[in-house]
Amino acid sequence: MSLSPYLEVDISAEVDDVELIARSRNQPEAFSEIFDRHARRLRGYVARRLGSDAADDVVAETFLIAFQCRNKHDFSRADARSWLFGIAERLVGDHRRSEMRMRRAFARSVFEPLASEALDERVADVVTAEAQGPRLATALAGLNERDREPLLLRTLGGMSCEEIGDVLDIPVGAVRSRLHRARRTLRAALDSAHTG
């Protein structure tokens, strides 16, 4: 009895991401396992950043870009997680910039400033009222983007400093420095809000 080359092959956990990506060059369906392994966690992170409505679109676009660029993947890394989060992080930034442009255009069209509303909406996207108090949300919104991104990747994405460095394309030392600065700034903002 001969085996058909079209039999489904069980791609189980013992095959690492880099092998699946390499395999997907000739067998595109192998890339679906990358989706199965990482989509849920990636969606959770993006939903915390942008809300559920935008998360599905961003995650779908992330995997589409990853699939289209799979030949350029760094095959020295066995885990595709930081690669996927890096793509998603860029898309989150694009989405936020697009939202800000639309808000500014709307503000100009009706001649009323939306700065405080935009800030409130940005904060609501990052931290839900049920999960965090308003002081923390305000303090997070006050962080500069360079410090906020690593903090959100760490706390909402559950990423290590090394993974964050891969996502943001910065050295691990810079990640640790930014995390330290972000935490110190948040702590100071929360302390002053609490005592003031």
The domains found in the chain, sorted by start residue, are 15-113 (1.10.1740.10), 127-196 (1.10.10.10)
What is the pTM assigned to this prediction?
Answer: 0.59
pLDDT in tens, 57-71: 999 999 999 999 999
pLDDT in tens, 89-127: 999 999 988 877 766 654 444 333 334 444 554 444 444
DSSP string, the chain: -PPPTTSPP---TTS-HHHHHHHHTT-GGGHHHHHHHHHHHHHHHHHHHH-HHHHHHHHHHHHHHHHHTGGGS-TT-S--HHHHHHHHHHHHHHHHHHHHHHHHHHHHHHT---HHHHHHHHHHHHS-TTTS-HHHHHHHHHS-HHHHHHHHHHHTT---HHHHHHHHT--HHHHHHHHHHHHHHHHHHHHHHHH-
Which comes out higher in pLDDT, residue 189 or 34? 34
Residue 83 scores a pLDDT above 60: yes
